[in-house]
Amino acid sequence: MLRSKILNRIRLLKPVIDRRCMSSASKTPLTLLEVDDKSGIATLSLNRPPVNSLNIDLMNSIIESITEIEGNKSRGLILTSANDRVFCAGLDLNELHKPNQERLKEFWAVFQDVWLALHLCSVPTAAAINGHAPAGGCLLATACEYRVMLPQMTIGLNETQFGYMAPKWVMLSYLSVLPRRLAERALTQGKLFTTAEALDVGLVDEIAASKEEALAKCSTFIDSFSKANPLARSLTKKQIREPDVQKLIADRAGDLKECLEYINSPLLQDGLGAYFEALKQKSRSKAGKS
Ligand SMILES: CC/C=C\C/C=C\C/C=C/CCC/C=C/C(=O)SCCNC(=O)CCNC(=O)[C@H](O)C(C)(C)COP(=O)(O)OP(=O)(O)OC[C@H]1O[C@@H](n2cnc3c(N)ncnc32)[C@H](O)[C@@H]1OP(=O)(O)O
């Protein structure tokens, strides 16, 4: 009786994300999922070259992997990158620049879903941040319960640097990790923290010298729940996170409408175009040098 009541409560708390991963045109999987048969801990690696930028397919693949991990009773989830320079470059700017409107609606809905799926994941979650994590990459990291980062990387919600305002629920994810005054300053500056700065302010919990060490530290965090009843732990996490989540769930349509208006605004499109062009230019000049 109690168990079914608890399960019902979890179902109520967790919005139904009924989304299958769309088969991508590419041959390589967009996410790599390995479950350690000794520890029972699942490692989910983002695997979309060159920078794990989040498009619809990659986000659906993440959601599908989280659903699989929750279903196969893994003891925890470590999110990391198959790329050793970039954890996740955030939203794929190709999805936002001069967007197809129907696709943009789907893209935004999947973006909302991937945050909900990770933020409410029923197993313990940790991010082994083995590369740069700007904007949406930082959001994935803050949706996890614990963060271990490698040196000489950057992390932060830098949207204001290219004319964006992060949506309310994205800001709430930051506020769940940073003290308000610091979160406000970092958001308004569009600050990208260095690894050392991120540790100093608590945006990340530990620094590791290598990806292996980061994965080990994430596993230690997950092991810290070994004495907690998994169901009670999951319910407690959802209960604490519910107020922020409800702010999105209560008005997903409003969030989508606001986002469409904002992303389609000439101000944002112009800023985004210039920003994206500068990125490509940088990449071309790098290629020219190598
Ligand atoms: C009222 C308000 C309501 C709603 C708001 C509405 C809209 C706003 C939406 C906000 C959502 C908030 C949350 C998320 C926002 C985002 O994530 S937007 C994306 C932000 N991302 C970035 O700013 C990162 C940009 N990239 C970089 O800084 C660097 O690439 C890197 C540090 C990640 C990696 O550097 P390098 O290793 O040197 O690699 P290159 O820079 O040479 O790049 C290689 C290659 O990849 C392309 N690329 C890089 N980032 C992206 C990206 N995000 N999307 C698409 N493509 C990307 C780059 O152009 C290069 O491509 P090529 O030129 O080689 O083809």
Predicted complex ipTM: 0.94
Altogether, the residues listed in the chain come to a count of 290
The percent of residues in the chain predicted with pLDDT above 90, rounded, is 80
Quick one: residue 157, left, alpha or beta (phi over 0 = left, psi -120 to 50 = alpha)?
beta
Question: Structural domain boundaries of the chain?
Answer: 30-288
Confidence of residue 5 (pLDDT cuts 50, 70, 90): low
The yes-or-no verdict on residue 267 having pLDDT over 70 is: yes
Q: How far is CA 103 from the centre of its chain?
A: 20
- What's the pLDDT score for residue 26? 57
Rounded to whole angstroms, the Cα distance separating 64 from 93 reads: 23
The yes-or-no verdict on residue 11 having pLDDT over 60 is: no
- What's the pLDDT score for residue 17? 45
Can 159 be counted among the known catalytic residues? yes
Confidence of residue 221 (pLDDT cuts 50, 70, 90): very high
- What's the pLDDT score for residue 290? 59
Q: How much is the mean pLDDT over the chain?
A: 91
Using CA positions, which residue lies closest to atom 31 of ligand 1?
Answer: 89
77 token code pair: 């989830």
CA distances to 7, 26, 223 from 227, rounded to whole Å, are 20, 42, 9
CATH superfamily for 30-288 is: 2-enoyl-CoA Hydratase; Chain A, domain 1 (3.90.226.10)
pLDDT in tens, 43-73: 999 999 999 999 999 999 999 999 999 999 8
Measured from the Cβ of residue 24, the count of other Cβ atoms closer than 10 Å reads 16
Can 158 be counted among the known catalytic residues? yes
275 token code pair: 């920003």
Edge-to-edge strand list for the sheet holding 76-81 = 31-35, 41-46, 76-81, 125-129, 146-149, 206-207
Using CA positions, which residue lies closest to atom 24 of ligand 1?
Answer: 89
Confidence of residue 161 (pLDDT cuts 50, 70, 90): confident
Sequence-ordered list of residues with C-beta below 8 angstroms from that of 31, at least 6 positions apart, any chain: 44, 45, 46, 47, 58, 61, 62, 64, 65
Rounded to whole angstroms, the Cα distance separating 70 from 64 reads: 10
Confidence of residue 18 (pLDDT cuts 50, 70, 90): very low
Can 83 be counted among the known catalytic residues? no
Residues near ligand 1 (Cβ within 6 A): 50-51, 53, 85-86, 89-94, 132, 134-136, 139, 158-159, 164-167, 170, 258-259, 262-263, 279-280, 282-283, 286
Rounded to whole angstroms, the Cα distance separating 120 from 128 reads: 18
Give residue 171 CA to ligand 1 midpoint distance, Å.
18
pLDDT in tens, 69-118: 999 989 999 999 999 999 999 999 999 999 999 999 999 999 999 999 99
- What's the pLDDT score for residue 147? 98
Confidence of residue 130 (pLDDT cuts 50, 70, 90): very high
Match 């932060």 to its residue by tokens.
156
- What's the pLDDT score for residue 8? 54
List the alpha helices (DSSP H) in the chain.
2-13, 56-71, 93-96, 101-119, 136-143, 168-175, 180-189, 195-201, 211-223, 230-249, 252-263, 266-289
**From the candidates 91, 96, 187, 272, which is the catalytic residue?**
91
Supply the DSSP symbol for 53.
Answer: -
The yes-or-no verdict on residue 243 having pLDDT over 90 is: yes
216 token code pair: 């080990």
The yes-or-no verdict on residue 9 having pLDDT over 60 is: no
Atom of ligand 1 lying closest to residue 154 CA: 32
Give residue 233 CA to ligand 1 midpoint distance, Å.
35
Give residue 89 CA to ligand 1 midpoint distance, Å.
5
**From the candidates 77, 158, 187, 203, which is the catalytic residue?**
158
- What's the pLDDT score for residue 20? 38
Rounded to whole angstroms, the Cα distance separating 4 from 123 reads: 18
- What's the pLDDT score for residue 209? 98
